[in-house]
Structure 1
């Protein structure tokens, strides 16, 4: 209980500081008073940050988590509240937010509870790696920040992208088998099975998940990798820590897969590939072109970050 009282006091002090900034805004920064009147948002979840920027609502953000990698300037423009799954109530409340927008992967739960006890609204938005889930999340964020018209326009653009993908998938006769590898630890592969965002993006791109019999993200044996017989290995880029063909195909199990013949390892931006946000149709189209060069893909409408044109 003592910690909760400390958190409440911290929130009160932070809000007092925010109020003081508002009072002096007309004198200290002409025009800033209008921005100060808007709700102060802390965002925990890269896909939510991406949507807010796409809606032109980034000026309401006062803090983001480390998964907020798109647009790249998001982490440069706003304080960093730490990793999505390891949030600090004190760190969040020090930014005097009116509301926290978070995906259901955010935590720990006790930190979120302390933030609520301090009187800050915490909105949890469900992560659902489906076309309907993407469109619903865009509209939900738009409603929360009173940007419904922009959200409708963005959702329409994204829906058009999904429609173009569906047409392209209909032209694919033999889906390529894809194995998504999240990580390699001590030579053991953590792969994406059924029910994962990796499985969903492979399907959107017209591929076939080589480990559809596995549920969730799980480590698998060498025998399972060989039996999966993937034509392509898919992973996410992590800068200097991204997997390379040498990392993957030097391992005996991967060396015995069809993918090894041409060392077919595809790495893509993690948030675009697995985030299931506004860029999902583009990520799926890019993957489809790699897996199925013969596929006829109509121009996929790119949901542009509207704020980019005005900043």
Structure 2
């Protein structure tokens, strides 16, 4: 069960992207936005962040299907799950007779997307980058596709303000903490985040420093590397259902046990879709992580 769950999530969070630089969020050029769907009465949303945006823009009741990564808001549990975003079966998507499909960049496999395109269901692919600007681009693309540009700009302004306020919390922190994001510890081997990931983007937005350098995506790191980087904090997803490495498992790894993070009990666990989703709740997630990283050092 652990391996079956982990691989899809690894594929989801390893899409490349950049971290936020500054607090300026320019509006997208009109030419960059999709044309609105002719019929939004039966939507399918592939991508948890897109599903959240659809609800925020008032079209939740039009959703007939959503992918497995769509877990918020709670109402999504009443909507047909058409499969995991990276392992889509066209039959599952088409089974709900969609009038339009919203697809997060990186969804697939390519042959499944080809079948959906040949089915002549209108489809918009929404770009994905792990930054504040990337979140706003998602909102604007989704809003344009739904014919809700004005609502999308209102939502984008609110989300931009939330992110700006959250990032300012750590603007005056003098000493940045080094954070090791661990995706899994199967067989005692640490699978950690390098650059170009949702985890890396979130760590930087919350004022931390990714303890791992030199590669993109996720990679198993050796005990020697763990000892060398000596992270101040270990960050992990809280997935429940016995899917996460326990504190005892961290302690059982001699290299991890010797790090300042484990020695000082600085292990942070957050809901994966909340922490790494890069949707409308990003500002709140950045704020929560920043406060856990720096405690009383950050403004409230």
TM-score of the pair, normalised by structure 2: 0.84
Other-structure match for 1:254: 256
- Residue 227 of structure 1 deviates from its aligned partner by 1.1
Structure 2 match to 1:130: 131
Residues 43, 65 of structure 2: 8 Å contact kept: yes
Q: Write out aligned runs for 1:73-152 (5 A).
A: 73-74=75-76, 76-152=77-153
What is aligned with 1:200? 201
Contact 1:49–1:68 (CA under 8 A) maintained in structure 2: yes
CA RMSD of aligned residues (A): 1.4
Aligned to 1:307: none
Contact 1:164-1:297 at 8 Å conserved across structures:
no
The question of whether the paired residues in 1 share the 8 Å contact of 2:45 and 2:66 is answered with yes
Q: Which residue of 2 aligns with 1:154?
A: 155
How far the C-alpha of 1:118 sits from its partner, in A, is: 1.1
Give the whole-Å Cα distance in 2 for the aligned partners of 1:178 and 1:90: 42
Q: 1: distance between equivalents of 2:160 and 2:142?
A: 16
Q: Deviations over 1:77-104 (max 9, x none)?
A: 2111011111111111111112211112
Output the CA distance in 1 between the equivalents of 2:81 and 2:258: 43
In 1, Cα distance between equivalents of 2:84 and 2:132: 26
Measure how far apart 1:72 and its partner are: 2.3
Q: Distance in 2 between matches of 1:133 and 1:159?
A: 11
- Correspondence 1:186 to 2:191: no
Give, in whole Å, the separation in 1 of the partners of 2:285 and 2:120.
39
State the 1:165 CA deviation.
Answer: 2.5
* Contact 2:184–2:244 under 8 Å retained in 1: no
Structure 1: gaps of 5 or more residues: 1-36, 299-311
* Bigger share in helix: 1
Secondary structure at the counterpart of residue 185 of structure 2: strand
Residue 278 (structure 2) aligns with: 276
| Residue in 2 that maps onto 1:8 | none
The answer to whether the 8 A contact 2:178-2:210 is kept is yes
Counterpart position of 1:285: 287
For this pair of structures, how many residues does the alignment match?
Answer: 261
Within 1, Cα distance between the matches of 2:196 and 2:240? 27
Deviation at 1:248, TM superposition (A): 1.5
Shift in alpha-carbon separation, 1:38–1:100, aligned structure 2, 3 A: closer
Shift of 1:114: 0.5
**Higher relative contact order (CA closer than 8 Å, sequence separation 6+):** 2
Distance 1:38 1:138, change over 3 A: closer
Match of 1:218 in 2: 219
3-state SS in 2 of match to 1:115: helix
SS in 1 for 2:80: coil
Contact 2:163/2:284 (8 A) holds in 1: no
1:244 pairs with 224, 246, 259, which one?
A: 246
User: Following the alignment from structure 1 to structure 2, what is the Cα–Cα distance between the partners of residues 296 and 251?
Assistant: 32
* Structure number with bigger Rg: 1
**Which sections of structure 2, spanning at least 5 residues, go unmatched?**
1-38
Structure 1 segments of 4+ aligned residues over 3 angstroms from their partners:
295-298
Name the CA shift for 1:149/1:295 in 2 (closer, same or farther; >3 Å).
farther
Question: Measured at CA, do residues 214 and 38 of structure 1 come closer, stay the same or move farther in structure 2, by a change above 3 Å?
Answer: closer
